[in-house]
Amino acid sequence: MLQSVDLGVFLAFLVGLAALILFGLQAWYRRDAILSDHRRLSSAFSCARCGLTYVRPRRREEGVCPSCGWNNVRLKF
Ligand SMILES: [Zn+2]
């Protein structure tokens, strides 16, 4: 059965829906920014001894290879 809905209630519903969508998008983009930030902040290494490529969290100039223990210098792009 169709019910007559007050125009004010309908408009409030639309505004609430729009706010919810905007909030969702904002949260999504913030999550994306955090992820790309994390990627930029971690350091990549390529082992000179065994050829393994690995990543260490945070910015650092040297990282020990998890496979053979060789200390490698960070890859620069
Ligand atoms: Zn290695």
Does 47 share its domain with 63?
yes
Residues 31 and 59 in one domain: no
Same domain, 24 and 49: no
Q: How far is the CA of 40 from the centre of ligand 1 (A)?
A: 23
Domain that holds residue 5: 1-41
What average pLDDT score do residues 11-31 get? 93
Q: Residue 52 C-alpha to ligand 1 middle, in angstroms?
A: 6
Q: Which of 66, 73, 9 is nearest to 46 (CA)?
A: 73
Q: Whole-prediction pTM value? A: 0.47
66 alpha carbon – ligand 1 mean position (Å): 7
Domain identity same for 13 and 28: yes
- Residue 42 neighbours by CB under 8 Å, 6+ apart: 55, 56, 57, 58, 59
Please report, for the chain, how many H helices and E strands are present, in that order: 1, 4
Per-residue pLDDT tens over the stretch 42-59 = 889 999 999 999 998 888
Question: How many Å lie between the centroid of ligand 1 and the Cα of residue 63?
Answer: 10
Task: State the total domains in the chain.
Answer: 2
How many whole angstroms separate alpha carbon 4 and alpha carbon 13? 15
User: 41 falls in which pLDDT band (50, 70, 90)?
Assistant: confident
